């Protein structure tokens, strides 16, 4: 199985507001960047979207080390998701899970690949995290001029 390193980031100007997401995929000597933007969204939706789009880019099942600066994303997929599914997509407080549509997509992709989820602190000089932050902001810039 191919091993890939994935770095993701998402952001928003206003929450909700215009948002952007980006991902960097590294497999051996090969690198690929992807990014996009939405006119009206939230920061959390952009963080999840970045991971979805990155995993969708993989053409066959892979072993992925995915790095994010979003605890919401990492904890959501690694810790909270099994309970949400067991409770029919309800939180412990019995409220609907926010961003259920995206969590369902991410769950399916997470099952297709062998993903290990890593958290890195934002804006702390981690080179690849800074790269995807810049790409996500550049994607937002296409909407906000």
- Residues recognised as catalytic: 9-10, 47, 69, 123, 133
* Torsion on CA atoms 59, 120, 143, 46, rounded to nearest 10: 60
How many angstroms separate the CA atoms of 72 and 61, rounded?
24
The owner of tokens 């970045």 is 50
Q: Token pair for residue 30?
A: 């090969």
| Residue 138, number of CB atoms within 10 A of its CB | 13
């Amino acid at each position: 199985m191919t091993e890939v390193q994935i770095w993701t980031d998402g952001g928003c100007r206003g929450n909700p507001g215009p948002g952007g997401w980006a991902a960097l995929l590294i497999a051996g000597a090969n690198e690929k960047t992807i990014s996009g933007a939405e006119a009206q969204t939230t920061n959390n939706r952009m963080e999840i979207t970045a991971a979805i789009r990155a995993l969708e880019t993989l053409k066959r099942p892979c072993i992925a080390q995915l790095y994010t600066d979003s605890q919401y994303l990492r904890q959501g997929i690694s810790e909270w998701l099994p309970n949400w599914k067991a409770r029919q997509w309800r939180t412990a407080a019995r409220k609907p899970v926010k961003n259920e549509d995206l969590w369902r997509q991410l769950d399916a992709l997470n099952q297709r690949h062998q993903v290990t989820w890593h958290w890195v602190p934002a804006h702390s000089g981690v080179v690849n995290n800074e790269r995807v932050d810049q790409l996500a902001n550049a994607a937002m810039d296409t909407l906000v001029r």
